[in-house]
Amino acid sequence: MGEFSVFHWLVVLAIVLIFFGGRRIPEVMKGLGEGIRSFKDGMSGAANASAATASATTVPAPSGLSAKSSKNCVALSWGAASGATSYSVKRSATSGGPYALIASIAATNYTDEGLAVGTYYYVVTAINSTGESANSIEVSGTAA
């Protein structure tokens, strides 16, 4: 009970042949295949849409980054990014990076101390539960 025997499958096949005829079976199978393909495309489209939604809700990059040079340090400040819970401060010795993480803080200012004489380049990213923003604009500061 609950299982189809060979006899049951033959009866189902006979009914299908009677209603649809032998020529309609390939069309039915083609429609079934297209339906499955469409379902798969729809599911992958839903996954892409949720990924796009996640990236759309990621926190925006901090704005207004500025640097004030001083003796052996550079003081940075920036405007708060909407929805940010913390910020990553990154520094490079060359314009355009690569940048190394030097601090993770909740404040909207940071002083990079103990620097050797030279010019340093900074960017800041905002972080929240959805991820990390793109880099802010780059600013430079010179430690004298």
Claim to verify: residue 30 and residue 80 sit in the same structural domain: no
DSSP classification of residue 104:
E
Claim to verify: residue 98 and residue 126 sit in the same structural domain: yes
Does the pLDDT value for residue 54 go beyond 60?
A: no
Claim to verify: residue 112 and residue 138 sit in the same structural domain: yes
Claim to verify: residue 72 and residue 119 sit in the same structural domain: yes
HSE-CB of 34 using CA atoms within 13 angstroms: 6
Give the closest residue to 134 by CA, choosing from 76, 68, 90, 74. 90
Q: Express as a percent the part of the chain with pLDDT over 70.
A: 88
Claim to verify: residue 34 and residue 82 sit in the same structural domain: no
Q: What phi and psi values does residue 97 have, to the nearest 5 degrees?
A: 90, -170
Claim to verify: residue 45 and residue 81 sit in the same structural domain: no
* Rounded average pLDDT over 100-115: 94
> Count of domains in the chain?
2
Range of the domain at 114: 63-143
Claim to verify: residue 42 and residue 94 sit in the same structural domain: no
Is 1 within the bounds of a domain?
A: no
Is 130 within the bounds of a domain?
A: yes
Is 139 within the bounds of a domain?
A: yes
**CATH number (domain holding residue 108):** 2.60.40.10
Does the pLDDT value for residue 48 go beyond 70?
A: no
Is 23 within the bounds of a domain?
A: yes
pLDDT category, 35, cuts 50, 70, 90?
Answer: confident
